[in-house]
Amino acid sequence: MIGKTWIVVAGDAAVGNLIATARGFGGTVSAAVVGPRAVADTIAGGGVDDVLWFGEPGKAPVEAYAGAVADAIAASPGIVLGPTGPSARVLLGAVAARMQVPVLTGGTTASADGDTVLVTRSVFGGIADEINIVAGPAVLLLDGGQVSAADGSAPVQQVDCTPLGITVVETRPSHLAHVDLGSAVRVIGVGRGLGAKEDLALITELAGASKAEIACTRPIAEGLDWLARDRYIGCSGWNISPEVYFAIGISGQLQHMVGVRGAETIVAINSDPNAPVFAEADYGLVGDLYKIVPALTKALT
């Protein structure tokens, strides 16, 4: 039986999976919410026992509350769960430092086992799994997931605090669309095999014809900036398990493939017959994506 579990919320209410996990531990579940009141209320209605809210952020980014969150949680320590986003990581880092406790990343499942928690983690870029026994306060990062409203609402207590000296002086909205790949049934992943950003049109057509979401490898989102940063799959991005995943112009490096190992079926299209991706594919097509993708779109319409 676990005494207390904390859930750290960093501006975004997508912590459903964490609440469910914490509930599974038994014991009380408290949330430390940084962000607008609306987020605090969503969490309060999402099945936690109580909510600490750090006030309206105004010009202060989530990260400015790291110290305050650390203080609050260190005051009544427990197992701390949090999502994997950059702002959440800053809050969680401060908590781990303040309590001087271990941090577990790459967590896939966590469940109570007597008065300890068993955590399964994918370690070292996914080459192995490790099962850990957590026997006291520790920080555990898990993938988010939408909050499903529970009946009743937990009390929200406002903590007054002075944020650290960071202020947002400017925001420039991007024009890259976002998705929730977590729930997508079909996903088309595109990699550096694509010659130019314009050629994404080919992929969009295929996506239309197959009713699939478009995702990518890291270099496509970071570096080339052809797609939003929340669209790349792999150990530092999404871990998805769709019905079918199309890996197009993707070499199939470990760090990417770990993110799609849950896929029911994997189709690989690559001009290099020796590309590692074929080793993890159900259907492999060796050839030029510029020839195969249009043909595939045609075959689907």
Summarize as ranges the residues that interact with ligand FAD (CB under 6 A): 191-193, 217-219, 232-237, 249-251, 253, 255-256, 269-272, 275, 288-290
Residue 251: which of another protein, ligand FAD, none does it interact with, CB under 5 to 8 A by kind? ligand FAD
By the 10 Å C-beta count (0-12 exposed, 13-18 middle, 19+ buried), 17 is classed as middle
Work out whether 282 is an interface residue with another protein (CB under 8 A).
yes
Q: Does 58 bind another protein (CB under 8 A)?
A: no
Position 265 contacts another protein (CB under 8 A): yes
Do 238 and 261 meet the contact criterion of CB atoms below 8 Å apart?
A: no
Q: Return the DSSP state at 91.
A: H
- Site for another protein contains 216 (CB under 8 A): no
How many CB atoms within 10 Å of residue 38?
9
Q: Quick check: 64 binds another protein (CB under 8 A)?
A: yes
Q: Which amino acid does the sequence have at 105?
A: T
* Distance, CA of 240 to CA of 261 (rounded, Å): 8
Site string for another protein, 114-133 (x = CB under 8 A): ----x---xxxxxxxxxxxx
Start-to-end Cα distance in the chain: 55
Structure-block tokens of residue 238: 């999404």
Per CB under 8 A, the segment of 33-41, 46-54, 196-204, 256-264 that binds another protein is: 256-264
Q: Which candidate, 241, 233, 237, places its Cα nearest to that of 214?
A: 233
Of the residues 16, 27, 186, 200, which one makes contact with another protein according to CB under 8 A: 186
Q: How far is the CB of 299 from ligand FAD (least distance, A)?
A: 18
Which of ligand FAD, another protein, none interacts with 64 (beta carbon under 5 to 8 A by kind)?
another protein
d(CA 233, CA 260): 7
Choose between 23 and 229: whose C-beta lies nearer to ligand FAD. 229
Looking at 16-24, 26-34, 192-200, 291-299, which segment touches another protein (CB under 8 A)?
Answer: 291-299
d(CA 15, CA 12): 8
Q: Which is nearer to ligand FAD, 270 or 297 (CB)?
A: 270
| Rounded Cα–Cα distance for residues 40 and 51 (Å) | 7
Q: Which of another protein, ligand FAD, none does residue 256 bind to, with CB < 5 to 8 Å depending on kind?
A: ligand FAD
